Amino acid sequence: MGGCSGVPGLAPHGTGLTHDFEVGAESMPQTSLKSGFLHHQLIHSLVQTDTIPSREELLARLDVTAAELDRTFDELAEQHGVVLHPGSHDVWAIHPFSLAPTPFLVESGGRKWWGNCAWCALGIAVLVDAPCVITTTLGAEGEQVRLTVENGRVAPADLVVHFPIPMTRAWDNVVYTCSTMLVFRSAAHVDDWCARHRIPRGDVQPVTKVLDLATRWYGEHLRPDWTKKSVAEARAIFDELGFTHPVWSLPAQEGRF
C-alpha cells in the first residue's frame, strides 16, 4: 500500500535552506531511460496495483542497467518527481502517493493507498478516477473523518484544509510540509490547533477548493511524457484558483517547482 512524518537525514523545516527552483539534473550523465517515463511506470503501477514494481521488475521491464536506473531515479529526485530514502534509491514518496504510512488512507474498489497530505489524498482520488473514500483524522489528532470523492465532488463539503508552509519553502523538507497539510472542521479549529502546537497559521481553503487544486495539479500525472510543473505553471494554477494568501506566492523565475 502505497502524511508524513519526520525524515531521517533531512533537515527540519525552518533551518534556512536555500530556495532552489533550478533544475539540477543537467550535469548528470545522460541515460536512455527518461525520467518522465520512469515516473509514469511508478504512478501507473500504483494506480493499478497499490504498489510500485520492485527494482528487479523495473530492470527487466525497462531493459536498462542498474546504473542507468539509479541515474534516472537521481534525475527524477532532482526534479522533485520522487522522494527517495536518504542514501538509497528506494522510493519514499511519489506525489500524490506515499509508500510509507500516513494519516491519509485512500480506498477504492478494494485498493488502498496512503496520501502524503490532504492535497495528495484528493490527488489520488483524481488519478484513480473512481469513487474513493479518504479516512483521516482532524488535525492529525483523535477525531476520525471519512471523505467521499465521486464524480468530481467531495463530501462532506464543509471541511477545510490548512496550508501553513509557504510554497517557496515547500521543498526545504517536503515530508514535513506534507505532514502539516491537514483537514479541520473550520477556520476556528485551525486557529486553536495552531495556538496549541505553536505552528504559524497559513492559508485555510475549503476542501472543495482543494479538490479543484488536486484536479489541476495531478490531472496529467499518468501521462507517459510527464514533466514536473515549472514555477510559472504552479503560479498560474494558484492564481487561477484565486489563492491570494502569501503562502501561495512564488517568484517570477524559471525552473521547476
| DSSP sequence for 153-186 | EEESTT-EEEE-S-GGGTTTSHHHHHHT--EES-
Residue 20 has a pLDDT of 41
Q: pLDDT tens string for the chain (257 positions)? A: 653 333 333 333 333 333 343 333 333 344 468 899 999 999 999 999 999 999 999 999 999 999 999 999 999 999 999 999 999 999 999 999 999 999 999 999 999 999 999 999 999 999 999 999 999 999 999 899 999 999 999 999 999 999 999 999 999 999 999 999 999 999 999 999 999 999 999 999 999 999 999 999 999 999 888 999 999 999 999 999 999 999 999 998 888 89
Residue 111 has a pLDDT of 96
Residue 178 has a pLDDT of 97
Residues in the chain: 257
Q: How far apart are CA 168 and CA 257, in angstroms?
A: 9
Q: How far apart are CA 54 and CA 90, in angstroms?
A: 10
Residue 10 has a pLDDT of 37
Q: pTM here?
A: 0.87
Of the candidates 187, 164, 189, 190, the one whose C-alpha atom is nearest the C-alpha of residue 177 is: 164
Q: Where are the alpha helices (DSSP H) in the chain?
A: 35-49, 55-62, 66-78, 118-128, 174-179, 187-197, 207-218, 231-240
Residue 252 has a pLDDT of 86
Residue 14 has a pLDDT of 35
Residue 4 has a pLDDT of 35
Count H helices, E strands: the chain? 8, 11
CB 81 within 8 A of CB 94: yes
